[in-house]
Structure 1
Amino acid sequence: MDKSSKHAVRVLEYDSLLKLLKSYAKTSAAKEQISDLLPTANIVLIKKQISETSELKDLILSGNHLPLGSVENILPIITNHALSGASLEPDQLLSVASTLQTVNDIRTYSHGNRDIAPLLWLSAIDLAPQPEIISEIYRCIDSDKTVKDAATKKLLLLRRSKTKLRTTINRKLNSLINSSELKSALENKTITSRNGRPVIAMKSNFRNAVRGSLLDKSNSGFTSFIEPHVITETVNELESVRYEERKEVARILRELSVSIFAVKESLIENIRILTYIDITNAKAQFSYDYQMTAPEINDSGRLILFEARHPLLMHFIRDNFSENISPMPIEKVKSKVVSLSIKFDNKLNLIIITGPNTGGKTVALKTLGLLTLMAQSGMHIPASAGTTMPIFKKIFADIGDEQSIEQSLSTFSSHLNNIARVINNADSDTLVLLDELGSGTDPAEGAALATSILNFLHSSGTKVIATTHLGSLKTFAYSTSGAENASMEFDEKTLKPTYKLLVGQPGSSNALAIARRLGLKEEIIKHAEKLISGKENDNSKLINKVQQLRVIAERGIKESQKLSSKLKREIEEIKKERKKITEVVNAEVESIFKDVKSVVNEFSKAAVNAPPPWNKRAEEFKKRINELADGTPLARQRERFIKNLSSGKSVFVQSLNCYAIVKTINHGKKTVVVESDGVNFKISFNKILERPFSQPVKKKVKKEIKPEKKKIIKHHPAKVKNFIKNLKEGDAVYSTALSSVVIVDTINHEKKKLVVKFGGFPTELPFYKVSPVATKKDKDLAE
């Protein structure tokens, strides 16, 4: 965004919004970058960032949160140490390992969710987890930020030796201090150390009671700290071991550091990607907490806000007006913040809002301005679905009293300074927000100047929203194409503002009504009303007349829209009814032709042996009837349906009275194999349909055609086993899949399946889909 927009960014409190967004970031690097985040006019980048935010928000809504664990800004540490050649300390190595572990977690997570979050996967695809480095750091460095004994074999041996030497020293010292000879010479029996060497505390006048070296004395001089000669050699050996230990630890830290410095560029890229993902996740979490939506971004200049709310006002109410310790539920917050709806289409580029102070005019300006900055920063906004935002290269806002004592500028002069900057920079890609335009000076001159300013900006194609108390600007809006009046609603009964923006309706200050409510003397108010009445001019009358006509016109539009909607519904109903009737008629025609074909076929068979030319004419008659039957609407529809038939398609099987899935097609034999309820059936073309005639399409397989409800007896498992074992070809069984009694054709005990005849075709059934028939009647039905 243009540098000239910095003033607007400040007065619209964009920095306060960024502070709120920062609270959702996990990493210090992300928090730093959010502090410097500025809106952009790059529409491709804006759309990409909003889409990425939407993706992560969908994951949050599904409970599938991003595994952003411990990520520290390790770049300064790595860069500084790499330049100086110094090794990293154990705590710094653990920071590197935990950051790389998060890199690994994010990459694994994004890969696992690449189908539902492809943009996240594209962002994370270049992450390089460095698993070898992670493994080596955790192998060598303990959680207490020390090098582990097992880091190397040499270090393990050195530390074992150190422990052994310490034990020997302590044993010898304990032997000394517990001896009866030194009982009166000892100051106490505590083993301490001086300069890293173990000593015992002896009374100075008994210091020669034990052979040793004096390493220190107390401040009083009464206590001497002696290292007995009996442990000197062992202590010297311990010092040597400690020296070797320090060398080995330094070598281990150096090797780990060098391995990290070798992939410094990869780590820098990892941190960059993690920071970007963290910022996007912060936007998504912010959107989730405040129930925001993704605005549609357009390049046509359309600005449409539905039920928009100021995010900082929502945050203030949420955190300060809760009835308990936890924040107020967002639904309750939304009910307390009055929403703003506004529409700037291509034909409109100026809205003038009039009305009393404290009515919400300034909040409306700030809401529109801040939401524009949010959208152009790749964020969701607190508004309803259907909101669409254009891209502005510049945003100017002259809001509030910005008088300057240092520059000796009055409120009016300060406003003019800002407006002069607007005039010099505004164009068709600019949004201008002007608060209390024309105030702070003589009303007549202020109105003239305000009208001229708005006229200039309007002619430049600039999108402008201005608030004012000046009544003459209402006339300007009514008389100017592409301009519109608006007002903040005022409840005349309670004499309080409702904070609702009414576009198309000019407002008034309601000063006299407010004065009456506040108890100003009635005689003063009535005198003022007479003065206003006397000064009412033709323009005021014209505005009132236009407003009345507008109300009548809007009422007429609403009525016409209702009638139009009703007419559309009735037309749709007629179309549906006509379609239903057509289907019924076509089905009836099809049925009649089927009967005719059946009669003609019988006639043709009977006439085969008839003398010429009657046998030939019978055959021609049959051919003509078949041609007519093939030309019916349903026949042509069936022909297209069979032609486009493919494996995997769902078809309605008339003989099963349910839907089934096509497995294979044989055009030569005019048959298909379909699967229903786990069973395959071979069905002829003339038994399948795209959907049943004049009936709702059923999505689930349902078997409803039952010639007679059969009483199925549940058999004991042992009886079922015997039933299958004793089953023979030609036996009658009941099929639960076909809801019918069928005759067994062949049996395959190895595959635990049998083939039965159904609908003239062999059908394969698993053993568990058949059971013994209940009665002899069922067997007779099957035969």
Structure 2
Amino acid sequence: MESRTLQVLEFPKILRVLSGMAVSEAGAAACLELRPFDNLDEVRREGEIFRQAAAWVGESGIAMRSFPPLDGLFLFLERQNGVLDQDGLFALKQALEIARISRDSLMQYEDRGWDVLREKLFAYTWPVKTVSAIGRCLDPEGRIKDESSPGLMDVRQEIRSIHQRCTKRVKDFVQQENLGQALQDEFMTISSDRYVLPLKVNFKNKTKGIIHDYSQTGETCYFEPMFLVETNNRLQELKREEREEEYKVLDYLTGLVRQEQEDLYEAYAGLVALDVLMAKISMAAGFDGLAIEVVPDGSPRLIKARHPLLALADDSVQAVDIELLEGQKALVVSGGNAGGKTVCLKTVGLIGLMAFTGLPVPAAEGSVLPFWNDVFVVMGDEQSLEENVSTFTAQIQYLKRVWGRVDEHSLFILDEFGAGTDPTQGAALAQAVIDSLVEKNATTFIATHFPALKAYAMAADSVRAASVLFDPSTKRPLYKLAYDQVGASIALDVAREHGLPTMILERAEKYLLLDGSDTSAVLDRLNTMAVKRENELEELEAERAKLEKKRAGLEKRFEQDRTRLLDEIQTQAQDLVRQWKADKLGRKEARRKLAEVRQRTEALAPKKQEVAVFSFQDIVPGMKVSYPAWNKSGTVLEINARKKQAKVDIGGVAMWIKADQLAAAGKEKSFAPSGQKTKAVAPSDLAVEVDLRGERADMALSRLERALDDALRKGAGRLEIVHGRGTGALRREVHEFLKHYPAVAEFSLADEEHGGDGMTEVTLK
């Protein structure tokens, strides 16, 4: 992409805005380096990364924190013998901490399928050794901890011991020598790494010692008493040992950093990339933008598009739909000055550059652009007095220079092309250029005032005409596009609006009438009709949005009421079960009331759309069917001709369903391969056994219900219930329960060989 194109379409201004939204120096610099990709796969990947990042930020609420630049640190590591200082290591620690928080946050959403985002930011091995070592050796303020090494801890403990001894000796000395009034400060201080007393100057000769320095005012001298000299000498030795031990720690940490240098650099690069992504998300929020779809080829369609720079500056910027229909390769925009023609062209070009860079754009969902690997622009006054080049000549020279690179993957923007020469010849040349661009299958956007070009746009099949609209009464621009019509240039109205003398305007109108080319009345009429149509469409859209909002509100309120009632019914049912278990309610009475509760629940269920069902003869094993009652689809496993039922596998659960409760699952049918006959599968021989002997009736029925549920989940066809002979009380309770269980087809006592009246065999639906 030519840098000239980027400059003319003001792409660097977008990058500067984006850079201002980054929180780190490295992120801001990376924003300024962004350029359109020359590969469609990269464009789509960047768009998907942005969408995943926006979803992650929206769900997690994670915010970007500033981190120090580390480019100098990695440059320093190129030296073979260099040792990093505390500041460099602390900066690395800060960056790694932010990277860890971000990494951990994204890892919580592994089930979201955000693999592209994870690969972009964290596709490296986490530098465990460096992170652990720096965390162990540096405190939250970046100082080296005592625990970094045994030697350092010993040295510092002795230094602290010396400090305590010095403090005590100084206090004793001050009291013995009665020097309290001679001290400027109550305590001793340190000068040149030695413990000294801040004495008033007029007391400096009162006792023996060494003067190390004076204060700026000259009223205080920093005095080292002789009894502290030996202690201070020892302190100097310990300070030297402390520096040596600290250097050893820094050298050790630097070695670990060098071992994991590649992973550390990738972690830093991922952090910078995250900062850029966060800046993109902030920009999207600034103009309510999104990452639009980019396709290999086709016609551009921008819905409710706004010029990005204008949208960032003002939320109320008028949105416009910019679209070419199938088979059309060029859009000719006409209409008056200051009506938005150039803004329309720049909007297409700048949104294209941003989309191909992976940036969000101010357009609505459903917008799509074909991938243009090159964008060419003829726009504005390009004359050069120094080079003796007129505007028209500059346009021709540019066209000549780039013409060989134009192909079906190019966008060509022509703003007032040919306007710097004779109108007749300029219009003819512009028309010829458009014809040639259409032949090359390049996408072209043109703004013009040439009447001949307007007529050409209305007549050519591969070219579409559009007009910027003006208020019919005030002649002020509405910044809207009306398609498949042309617009008047209204130069006289613009001149009148800007205060041109009336005498000049009247003469111009006379010359226009004499010329016989005044078509303003017809075009004004077209403009008025177009404005009326646009207003009606906006009113309809507003009404539709209002109704949609109202419907959404009603549905939400209904769902809330339904959920509340279902909760109440569930509580009521649980209360009934508790009463039954506590013997406060008879079994039959409890079942009756539970049946009433179930009926209320079914009445509250959302109504399903009526689906045409089919007869039993239409069903064969292996067929895909729909079960409207659950709003789910499944596969037929078996059929039971006697009961007109089919066993259907729905999401791993097999159950018998009557044929008249099933419907066709679209056009999807899974029949046996051609040439093979489908064999009907016999009812399942799988049997589940449950032993209830020795149980109380209520506990036995509870276990029986769980066993029935388990059998249904397994797709079993039979259930064997061992209840024993005894008094027959448990058998009667079991049979009474089975009579009312909906999944039971039939049941009977087993034959004598299998347990007789001590066991009941159940056939499941």
TM-score normalized by the length of structure 2: 0.68
Cα shift at 1:411: 3.7
Where does residue 264 of structure 1 map in the other structure? 261
Where does residue 587 of structure 2 map in the other structure? none
From 94, 101, 105, the equivalent of 1:105 is 101
- Residue 651 of structure 1 contacts residue 662 of structure 1 at CA under 8 Å; is this kept in 2? no
Distance 1:734 1:457 in 2: 76
Cα shift at 1:515: 5.4
Where does residue 229 of structure 1 map in the other structure? 226
Asked if 1:17 is matched to 2:14, the reply is yes
Distance 1:475 1:83 in 2: 70
Distance 1:79 1:532 in 2: 71
Q: Check 1:755–1:272 CA distance in 2 against 1; reply closer, same or farther (3 A cut).
A: farther
Q: Check 1:243–1:376 CA distance in 2 against 1; reply closer, same or farther (3 A cut).
A: same
Residues 289-304 of structure 1: pairs in structure 2 closer than 5 A: 289-304=286-301
Counterpart residue type for residue 434 of structure 2: L
TM-score normalized by the length of structure 1: 0.67
Q: Check 1:138–1:486 CA distance in 2 against 1; reply closer, same or farther (3 A cut).
A: same
Counterpart residue type for residue 634 of structure 1: S
From 440, 445, 459, the equivalent of 1:460 is 440
Asked if 1:118 is matched to 2:115, the reply is yes
Where does residue 145 of structure 1 map in the other structure? 142
What SS class does the counterpart of residue 199 from structure 1 fall into?
Answer: strand
Asked if 1:337 is matched to 2:317, the reply is yes
Cα shift at 1:360: 0.4
- Residue 651 of structure 1 contacts residue 659 of structure 1 at CA under 8 Å; is this kept in 2? yes
What SS class does the counterpart of residue 303 from structure 2 fall into?
Answer: strand
Mark the structure with the bigger radius of gyration. Answer: 1
Distance 1:440 1:253 in 2: 70
Q: What do the CA deviations read for 1:561-611 (whole angstroms, capped 9, x no partner)?
A: xxxxxxxxxxxxxxxxxxxxxxxxxxxxxxxxxxxxxxxxxxxxxxxxxxx
Q: More displaced, 77-86 or 250-259?
A: 77-86
Distance 1:205 1:758 in 2: 110
Distance 2:303 2:410 in 1: 21
Asked if 1:51 is matched to 2:32, the reply is no
From 49, 67, 70, the equivalent of 1:74 is 70
Cα shift at 1:373: 0.6
Asked if 1:380 is matched to 2:360, the reply is yes
Where does residue 562 of structure 1 map in the other structure? none
- Residue 337 of structure 2 contacts residue 491 of structure 2 at CA under 8 Å; is this kept in 1? no
Q: What do the CA deviations read for 1:387-412 (whole angstroms, capped 9, x no partner)?
A: 22111121111222233354344444
What SS class does the counterpart of residue 129 from structure 2 fall into?
Answer: helix
What SS class does the counterpart of residue 179 from structure 1 fall into?
Answer: helix
Asked if 1:635 is matched to 2:632, the reply is no
Q: Check 1:397–1:174 CA distance in 2 against 1; reply closer, same or farther (3 A cut).
A: same
Distance 1:271 1:44 in 2: 25
From 21, 37, 42, the equivalent of 1:40 is 37
Distance 1:219 1:466 in 2: 75
Cα shift at 1:376: 1.0
Stretches of structure 1 lacking an aligned partner (at least 5 in a row): 318-332, 559-631, 695-723, 739-743, 766-783
Where does residue 160 of structure 2 map in the other structure? 163
Where does residue 254 of structure 1 map in the other structure? 251
Distance 1:269 1:635 in 2: 63
Asked if 1:367 is matched to 2:347, the reply is yes
From 665, 670, 691, the equivalent of 2:661 is 691
Q: Check 1:470–1:221 CA distance in 2 against 1; reply closer, same or farther (3 A cut).
A: closer
Asked if 1:497 is matched to 2:474, the reply is no
Counterpart residue type for residue 374 of structure 2: K
- Residue 337 of structure 2 contacts residue 489 of structure 2 at CA under 8 Å; is this kept in 1? yes
Q: What do the CA deviations read for 1:190-228 (whole angstroms, capped 9, x no partner)?
A: 645543323346688976653434545789999875432
Q: Check 1:755–1:108 CA distance in 2 against 1; reply closer, same or farther (3 A cut).
A: farther
Residues 574-613 of structure 1: pairs in structure 2 closer than 5 A: none
- Residue 340 of structure 1 contacts residue 500 of structure 1 at CA under 8 Å; is this kept in 2? yes
Q: What do the CA deviations read for 1:534-575 (whole angstroms, capped 9, x no partner)?
A: 4336x979x989989x99xx99xx9xxxxxxxxxxxxxxxxx
Distance 1:66 1:148 in 2: 31
Where does residue 83 of structure 1 map in the other structure? 79
Cα shift at 1:310: 0.9
Q: Check 1:392–1:546 CA distance in 2 against 1; reply closer, same or farther (3 A cut).
A: farther
Q: What do the CA deviations read for 1:697-725 (whole angstroms, capped 9, x no partner)?
A: xxxxxxxxxxxxxxxxxxxxxxxxxxx96
Q: Check 1:254–1:643 CA distance in 2 against 1; reply closer, same or farther (3 A cut).
A: closer
Distance 1:341 1:48 in 2: 26
Distance 2:200 2:501 in 1: 100
Q: Check 1:663–1:352 CA distance in 2 against 1; reply closer, same or farther (3 A cut).
A: closer
Matched residues, number: 610
Cα shift at 1:530: 5.2
Distance 2:439 2:628 in 1: 63
Distance 2:699 2:459 in 1: 97
Cα shift at 1:416: 3.7
Q: What do the CA deviations read for 1:264-316 (whole angstroms, capped 9, x no partner)?
A: 11112222333334433433443344322332222223212222111110111
Distance 1:381 1:447 in 2: 34
- Residue 352 of structure 1 contacts residue 485 of structure 1 at CA under 8 Å; is this kept in 2? yes
Where does residue 768 of structure 1 map in the other structure? none
- Residue 294 of structure 1 contacts residue 381 of structure 1 at CA under 8 Å; is this kept in 2? yes
- Residue 213 of structure 1 contacts residue 229 of structure 1 at CA under 8 Å; is this kept in 2? yes
- Residue 651 of structure 1 contacts residue 691 of structure 1 at CA under 8 Å; is this kept in 2? yes
From 414, 419, 422, the equivalent of 1:439 is 419
Where does residue 276 of structure 2 map in the other structure? 279
From 155, 171, 174, the equivalent of 1:174 is 171
Cα shift at 1:235: 1.7
From 468, 486, 505, the equivalent of 1:506 is 486
Residues 533-572 of structure 1: pairs in structure 2 closer than 5 A: 533-536=513-516
- Output the aligned Cα RMSD: 4.8
Distance 2:454 2:182 in 1: 106
Q: What do the CA deviations read for 1:444-481 (whole angstroms, capped 9, x no partner)?
A: 34334433433433333332212122222223334444
Distance 1:315 1:40 in 2: 24
Asked if 1:356 is matched to 2:353, the reply is no
Q: What do the CA deviations read for 1:677-734 (whole angstroms, capped 9, x no partner)?
A: xxx9x98x5x63462799xxxxxxxxxxxxxxxxxxxxxxxxxxxxx9686999xx99
Distance 1:254 1:354 in 2: 71
Distance 2:649 2:467 in 1: 66
Counterpart residue type for residue 301 of structure 2: I
What SS class does the counterpart of residue 115 from structure 1 fall into?
Answer: helix
Q: Check 1:208–1:505 CA distance in 2 against 1; reply closer, same or farther (3 A cut).
A: closer
Distance 2:699 2:402 in 1: 97
Distance 2:513 2:216 in 1: 100
Q: What do the CA deviations read for 1:399-448 (whole angstroms, capped 9, x no partner)?
A: 22233354344444444443333435433322111112222334334334
Distance 2:47 2:697 in 1: 69
Counterpart residue type for residue 106 of structure 2: S
Q: Check 1:127–1:410 CA distance in 2 against 1; reply closer, same or farther (3 A cut).
A: same
Distance 1:432 1:337 in 2: 25
Distance 2:220 2:290 in 1: 78
Counterpart residue type for residue 360 of structure 1: G
Where does residue 240 of structure 1 map in the other structure? 237
Q: Check 1:447–1:96 CA distance in 2 against 1; reply closer, same or farther (3 A cut).
A: same
Where does residue 741 of structure 1 map in the other structure? none
Asked if 1:307 is matched to 2:304, the reply is yes
Distance 1:245 1:728 in 2: 76
Q: Check 1:303–1:747 CA distance in 2 against 1; reply closer, same or farther (3 A cut).
A: farther
Q: Check 1:747–1:223 CA distance in 2 against 1; reply closer, same or farther (3 A cut).
A: same
Q: What do the CA deviations read for 1:606-662 (whole angstroms, capped 9, x no partner)?
A: xxxxxxxxxxxxxxxxxxxxxxxxxx961213x42x66599xx96869xxxx99999
Cα shift at 1:492: 1.7
Stretches of structure 2 lacking an aligned partner (at least 5 in a row): 538-612, 665-694, 710-720, 745-765
What SS class does the counterpart of residue 110 from structure 2 fall into?
Answer: coil
